[in-house]
Structure 1
Amino acid sequence: MRAVSAMKGAFVADAASMGLHWIYDANKIKELTGQHKDAAFFEPPSCPFYSYKSGQFSPYGAECMGVLRGLASLEPFDAQAFSEDYAKFLKSYSGRLNHASKELISNIEQGKKFPACGADDAQANSLVKVPVAVARFLGEDNWPARVEEVIRAHQNNDVAVMYGVASAHILHRILTTGVNPREAIGWAAEDGSPLADEARMKLRDAVKYASSHDATEAASHWGSSCRLPGAFLVSVHVMLNAKTYEDAIRTNIMASGDQCSRGCFIGACMAAANGGESIPPSWVVKVDDFDDVANLTDKLMKCGKK
């Protein structure tokens, strides 16, 4: 099933990108990889902001795992219950917590309810939630509203929602029609698409830019950090020019910056379009918690189907 491939593609991409995560100097990445070292699952992991062993998920991948665990266990879905469950998961996480996660935990402990418990945070964490949230509500008429609730549970911010939902529409288009990412992006940029006007205009700008620039230039132009809309637009750029899942993930890593949030979205779209077999088996075996991902994605796909 495409939705399962999308989720697995997101998690593998995150783990593959973790070794060079948050290095903002593309030349430094070129220097580290040299002529012989693979950017994917780079050894030794060299992120300047945390020290994880190769095969682990980045903090973004860990967030995605929290979404997967929560959405696979809450039946029926309830936004307040999900907010509380997600805060509990994040509080138990022993790795690096970002601002949005710390704020959610604090707000829940203060008794704030959904959506006020969500952090006022406009970063690319919203893209990370998309593969699992779209899969969970696939086939439901009100799926965009449910995806928004999943985002607001953590990030109660209109910009995060706008670009998270825009990403969700692109992935949903791939899952439901079988088009490739380039075609889904083209559809999303058209007049009358369900994207918010601002997101649609930015998407059109990204499509134009992608025709004559490489991914490293795009990261410099749109911004390589976690901020939106930059992370969304760089992701789009990579998918417009990539031929395969593997090519897309490596290109995204070499572009520098916040490759992991982008990688979750890119990996989901590329795997959804090209199938689970497009994810290199040699990468899958390097992911520490892939068995958990496989089991939980199967469980999630049974939710809402009774």
Structure 2
Amino acid sequence: MTNNQPNDRKAAIIAALAGGWVADAASLGLHWLYDSQRILEVGGQAPEFLPPKADYFKGGFGYFAHEGKQAGDLSHYGAATGLLMDSLLANGGTLDIRDYQRRFRAFFGPGGHWRGYIDNPTRVTLANLNTIEQKAIEQALSTTTAELTDKQKRVLVQKVLPYTRRLSGEQLADPVRKAISLTYQEREIQEAGVHLAQGIDRNLLPESGTDDMQLPAVSKLPPLVACYCGSDRLMELTEAAVRVTNHNDEAVAWAKCAARLLDHLFQGDSMPDALEAAKNEAPDKHSLNNAESGSSLNAIAAGDTYGRTCYLHEAMPVIFHILNHARSFTEAIRANIQCGGDSCGRAWIIGPAMAAIYGVGGQCGIPLSWLARVTDAPAILTDIEALINGPEA
């Protein structure tokens, strides 16, 4: 984890994580506009941080998904990445799948704080979490030996669910017992409720994702890689985190490719070496090799060749092309936006990768003015520093 990393890499990792948020926010205005000519007409040579407007999509093919958002706001990718970072922060930099699932459900689900587009992996994951919980309830009730009426069973389920949604294991018994005692004083019913809560807790599954091969599988990875940089557990934990939202073998393979790339860059390897190491995890190494070929950056042509949609087999070659040819953070982010399509999703690998190499400021790093344009930048940067340096810093 980051606390075990040499101090001389922490600044680079902080810059890398900041690069993800900057790249996402910079891309939001033209996100999911697929017509590169229309992007050029609207954004010219500096298409970053445009306010999302439906008018941009007139005269070109695309999907306007960010009504109500402002320049500098984050996409749903940024929101999901922030959730994983919050979970890592709350657990001392370690991945707790149950905690991550709870935060995901509470934030994106009914009554949550998210206002904006809900992608397919998020929508189906929320439904799967409900289904998993319902099956866990049925399994727990089937093993209850107490003599309970149907009404008592319903009341006990209602009593214990608020606790199984935020507590686990030994944490459950006392609060569940007290909650049930407000309605039932009988010891047998109270213990049946504790048994029910603990049974639900045991039967919840970590693989809550949908069978999906899109960019949400990899966009959330930068904070996780930062916490397990150089660890021999990184691939195992990458898979665990991905299967929360994308329970698909090909998505896991591409995610391991992206995680390996960031891991090498966070440790200080060069971009060519990191790209080469990452290919060993890729399900389609040939397309990545082809995407790296050529002597100049042409992200629009890469999009024409490999595709611009959210699918990983399209996005990852475009990402590799940009990373292999761009020579500054600004150049890479602008090329990504001008390529079109799912620029926000690709931004979460391109931004951290380029910032890990070039840092912040100067001719090649993240422009300071771009950092300042991200909505809630002070809070985001504070959390990034806490994750990497430790809360005591």
Look up the equivalent residue of 2:292 and give its one-letter code. Answer: V
**1:28 Cα deviation (Å)?**
0.7
Tell which has more relative contact order, 1 or 2 (C-alpha 8 A, sep 6+): 1
- Is 2:113 aligned against 1:29? no
Q: TM-score, normalised by structure 1?
A: 0.90
Q: 1:131 aligns with which of 222, 227, 246?
A: 222
Match of 2:79 in 1: 62
Which deviates the most, 138-147 or 20-29?
Answer: 138-147
CA distance in 1, matches of 2:349, 2:306: 17
* Structure-to-structure mapping, 1:1-306, within 5 angstroms: 1-34=11-44, 38-43=46-51, 45=53, 46=56, 48-51=64-67, 52-75=69-92, 76-91=94-109, 92=112, 93-111=114-132, 113-179=204-270, 181-189=271-279, 193=280, 195-196=281-282, 198-208=283-293, 210-211=294-295, 214-277=298-361, 278-301=365-388
Is 1:88–1:105's contact at 8 Å kept on the other side of the alignment? no
Please, which runs of 5 or more residues in structure 2 have no aligned partner? Answer: 1-10, 57-62, 134-203
Change (3 A) 1:217 1:59: same
CA distance in 2, matches of 1:43, 1:98: 21
CA distance in 2, matches of 1:104, 1:170: 27
Is 2:207–2:240's contact at 8 Å kept on the other side of the alignment? no
Look up the equivalent residue of 1:49 and give its one-letter code. Answer: A
Change (3 A) 1:53 1:111: same
**1:134 Cα deviation (Å)?**
0.3
What are the Cα deviations for residues 230-264 of structure 1, in whole angstroms up to 9, with x where unaligned? Answer: 11111111111100001100111011111011111
Larger radius of gyration: 2
Is 1:126–1:155's contact at 8 Å kept on the other side of the alignment? yes
Match of 2:181 in 1: none
Identity between Structure 1 and Structure 2 (%): 29
Change (3 A) 1:44 1:226: closer
Is 1:135–1:301's contact at 8 Å kept on the other side of the alignment? yes
Query: Does the residue aligned with 2:309 lie in a helix, a strand or coil?
Result: coil
Look up the equivalent residue of 2:274 and give its one-letter code. Answer: A
Is 1:22–1:257's contact at 8 Å kept on the other side of the alignment? yes
What are the Cα deviations for residues 269-304 of structure 1, in whole angstroms up to 9, with x where unaligned? Answer: 000111133111111111112122112112222579
**1:221 Cα deviation (Å)?**
0.9
CA distance in 2, matches of 1:223, 1:205: 14
Is 1:120–1:155's contact at 8 Å kept on the other side of the alignment? yes
Is 2:88–2:96's contact at 8 Å kept on the other side of the alignment? no
Please, which runs of 5 or more residues in structure 1 have no aligned partner? Answer: none
Is 1:21–1:260's contact at 8 Å kept on the other side of the alignment? yes
CA distance in 1, matches of 2:20, 2:301: 24
Is 1:170–1:184's contact at 8 Å kept on the other side of the alignment? yes
CA distance in 1, matches of 2:105, 2:377: 23
CA distance in 1, matches of 2:80, 2:210: 14
Is 2:20–2:352's contact at 8 Å kept on the other side of the alignment? yes
CA distance in 1, matches of 2:51, 2:125: 33
Change (3 A) 1:34 1:165: same
Is 2:32–2:343's contact at 8 Å kept on the other side of the alignment? yes
Change (3 A) 1:294 1:244: same
Query: Does the residue aligned with 2:373 lie in a helix, a strand or coil?
Result: coil
**1:213 Cα deviation (Å)?**
6.9
**1:22 Cα deviation (Å)?**
0.4
Is 2:258–2:278's contact at 8 Å kept on the other side of the alignment? no
Change (3 A) 1:183 1:27: same
How many residue pairs are counted as aligned between the two chains? 296
Which deviates the most, 237-246 or 284-293?
Answer: 284-293
**1:71 Cα deviation (Å)?**
1.9
